Structure 1
């Protein structure tokens, strides 16, 4: 899932690689061996080119994202006989920065910037409409007018930290790449979104004693964030060393801990019980991970 936003970086900064026409079919992976990818630079380039080409075909309005809002769809039902799309599903936070690279005619830099402009406008509208979310995203419905929390994330309003931990690093990558490519004004808007999440993340999700809430209740989604507006939803916390660690790393690096360094360390102590080494067996012997 984190790979979704890696395509943005690839599409803006990686040199164009032309796919071998003889391999241009969606089940191209069988044409490559592990040995090819390990030892042959040209094979690796062809594999990347094909992967980006077919991923890029998904990046179309009404397929991968909603055109007017620029917001990504979570998934679609499809007719397996015809390949035609049927129902589109709601989007979750970790799919939001989803600009896939591919054929230059489909995904030019101009088009990518247009999509990113639409996306950040949608984020800004959501922040204005629901300031109580502090820049964070619930699962949302997507349509031409923008995004709104799904019914399952209303009454009460709720917000997950795990999914947003992935979105946060997508935003970080996005504004840095935009700045590097000379799109400073657009990059500034993405950084504003990132900075808003820095400002309120600890207030909203950190319970104390090393515990980071996995999901919170927002008592008033229309209010500017304040501490008493948030409460944990149940006992779910980010004590895992896997997906949930992305949000913990974010809090560690960017939240304002002041003199409470012990709380900062406590987040990592809280995870220790979940850590266990495992030997992964390979032809060349075990690797401890």
Structure 2
């Protein structure tokens, strides 16, 4: 028999395994930390991000950010101004940009624990009920609870994509803004019933590309590779469709890629004469619209290299340097449209930062963003977002023109409202090791009513007296994707394997070197931190101290992160040389429970 002393030791080891990483039982977890503790303590930062993953993951549920039956995203959901609970209206519409973020989080979840010790798979902890067929394709006993949730949704999503393409082949596999319901998706009536946007689809493409890369990478080491291969094959087939049709759909004028395309017949197969640019609008920007330019440059069929290069030549007018001035010196930045953080979406997707000059320009832009808010004593950062409303209104207006006037093309209408996702590009500044991003994000979600049962709230006034009572993918999950590292590593692997990486790096080096001669000003200036906090004028939501009950699976599955190797080394002699019957009944139950936690059966 195993002695009582050893049994007690086993209890301690198992207990440590189960509680080593846990989540706050209250969504208002920002109060567990201080700005200084997050700056100084790496473990606090890991724990903080674990809480972000868990609570933001509650948004990825049916009726909030997702339609579970189709696997397609909703734009978001309104929350009650007082309670923070879900209320009407549901934003039962969506765009490929929302799919981009969802696919991106799925890709990182497939890859598992990252270099900082966080597991993006925790984002997918909300239970998804499976059909009998889905139970066969994605058995929880082999995949674990969270992977089963994820794969079931991805399976439904690709079916929705394929069904939409069969019903509306004229879209070429690309998506307009759509209405979303349990029955499927279809173009929103009116304008989008015969048009398709380029920018949003460019974002979605690279989210899908990253997912395919992750599925292929992880399949070989999986205990059940068939599930990974099934999804990878279906998504790759859809990606091939997009590659085949992109030029016919979006290349309507020599040298330019269309921002919005009119479709003559949405029921016809893709041919060039079915598409025209009727808005005189093109993706000639160096911001998020560039993602479609890169995709088509690399994967469409061109007559010559000069035809490809013309795409970039025609974009040069909007790629400009600008100077942001601080008391400590000037900073050379890339001029923004509004200098909204939304404009940096492409850095979530592609390895731009592999190009030294682009990296310096990007980091200087984020350096300027921190200096601007620090000097002006703004408690947060700015991005295109839903504006705040007065209680009890639940219908905020969208506010695009939020940013930094000194370094933007367009006029800025508002610097009175900050949004947590204004901080997302800072998480991509590698040398900061998440510190800068966390500092500003923490400062904003610490404002009143800025945390709810589904993670962060959309936006808040600098005075702390009004919020936008709404949840959206843009304002919430862009930041989570950035916190987890984005998709540049996964998409770099794809581009390296298929031979397109060299072309990408050469083009970005050429274009940014033309406009940003070295040395750049300000590269030696520090990144700044918040100089003020948001006043607590509003009350927190009345549900902010309550645990949510949303049918989550037990934390005894994938939601527990343990030092598996350490425990395995410790327990090996007991499991290898001792039968389970040698332990007391209590220890037997504990072993069985923890074994299921490590690998559900």
Which category of TM-score, normalised to the shorter sequence, fits these structures?
0.7 to 0.9
Q: Residue 395 of structure 2 aligns with which residue?
A: none
Matched, 1:93 2:105: no
Distance in 2 between residues matched to 1:59 and 1:219, nearest whole Å: 36
Distance in 2 between residues matched to 1:270 and 1:240, nearest whole Å: 9
Matched, 1:263 2:307: yes
Q: Residue 231 of structure 1 aligns with which residue?
A: 276
Q: Residue 126 of structure 2 aligns with which residue?
A: 106
Matched, 1:18 2:21: yes
Aligned ranges 1:149-188 → 2 under 5 Å: 149-154=187-192, 157-182=194-219, 183-188=228-233
Q: Residue 200 of structure 1 aligns with which residue?
A: 245
- After TM superposition, the structure 1 stretch with the greater mean CA deviation from structure 2, 159-168 or 247-256, is 247-256
Any conservation in 1 of the 2:56–2:123 contact (CA below 8 Å)? no
For 2:185, what is the secondary structure of its paired residue? strand
Distance in 1 between residues matched to 2:320 and 2:71, nearest whole Å: 41
- After TM superposition, the structure 1 stretch with the greater mean CA deviation from structure 2, 133-142 or 89-98, is 89-98
Among 248, 253, 276, which residue is 2:320 paired with? 276
Any conservation in 1 of the 2:64–2:86 contact (CA below 8 Å)? no
Cα displacement (A) at 1:30: 8.8
For 1:217, what is the secondary structure of its paired residue? strand
Distance in 2 between residues matched to 1:34 and 1:199, nearest whole Å: 52
Any conservation in 1 of the 2:57–2:125 contact (CA below 8 Å)? no
Matched, 1:142 2:180: yes
Q: Residue 31 of structure 1 aligns with which residue?
A: 33
Cα displacement (A) at 1:284: 6.9
Any conservation in 2 of the 1:93–1:138 contact (CA below 8 Å)? yes
Q: Residue 143 of structure 2 aligns with which residue?
A: none
Any conservation in 1 of the 2:124–2:150 contact (CA below 8 Å)? no
Distance in 1 between residues matched to 2:24 and 2:54, nearest whole Å: 11
Cα displacement (A) at 1:248: 0.6
Matched, 1:122 2:160: yes
Residues 20, 148 of structure 1: alpha-carbon distance in 2 compared, 3 angstrom cutoff: closer
Structure 2 runs not aligned, ≥5 long = 1-19, 106-119, 128-145, 220-227, 334-601
Q: Residue 191 of structure 1 aligns with which residue?
A: 236
Matched, 1:217 2:262: yes
Q: Residue 367 of structure 2 aligns with which residue?
A: none
Any conservation in 2 of the 1:26–1:54 contact (CA below 8 Å)? no
- Alpha-carbon displacement from aligned partner over 1:118-153 (angstroms, at most 9, x marks no partner): 100000000110111111000000011110000133
- After TM superposition, the structure 1 stretch with the greater mean CA deviation from structure 2, 42-51 or 97-106, is 97-106
Residues 277, 177 of structure 1: alpha-carbon distance in 2 compared, 3 angstrom cutoff: same
TM-score by length of 2: 0.42
Residues 232, 172 of structure 1: alpha-carbon distance in 2 compared, 3 angstrom cutoff: same
Q: Residue 249 of structure 1 aligns with which residue?
A: 294
Q: Residue 5 of structure 1 aligns with which residue?
A: none
Any conservation in 2 of the 1:92–1:138 contact (CA below 8 Å)? yes
For 1:225, what is the secondary structure of its paired residue? coil
Residues 47, 286 of structure 1: alpha-carbon distance in 2 compared, 3 angstrom cutoff: farther
Any conservation in 1 of the 2:54–2:125 contact (CA below 8 Å)? no
- After TM superposition, the structure 1 stretch with the greater mean CA deviation from structure 2, 275-284 or 61-70, is 275-284
Any conservation in 2 of the 1:208–1:263 contact (CA below 8 Å)? no
Q: Tell me which of the two structures has the higher relative contact order, counting C-alpha pairs closer than 8 angstroms and 6 or more residues apart.
A: 2
Residues 270, 42 of structure 1: alpha-carbon distance in 2 compared, 3 angstrom cutoff: same
Distance in 2 between residues matched to 1:120 and 1:25, nearest whole Å: 32
For 2:148, what is the secondary structure of its paired residue? helix
Q: Which runs of 4+ in 1 moved over 2 A?
A: 17-22, 24-27, 29-37, 99-107, 152-155, 278-289
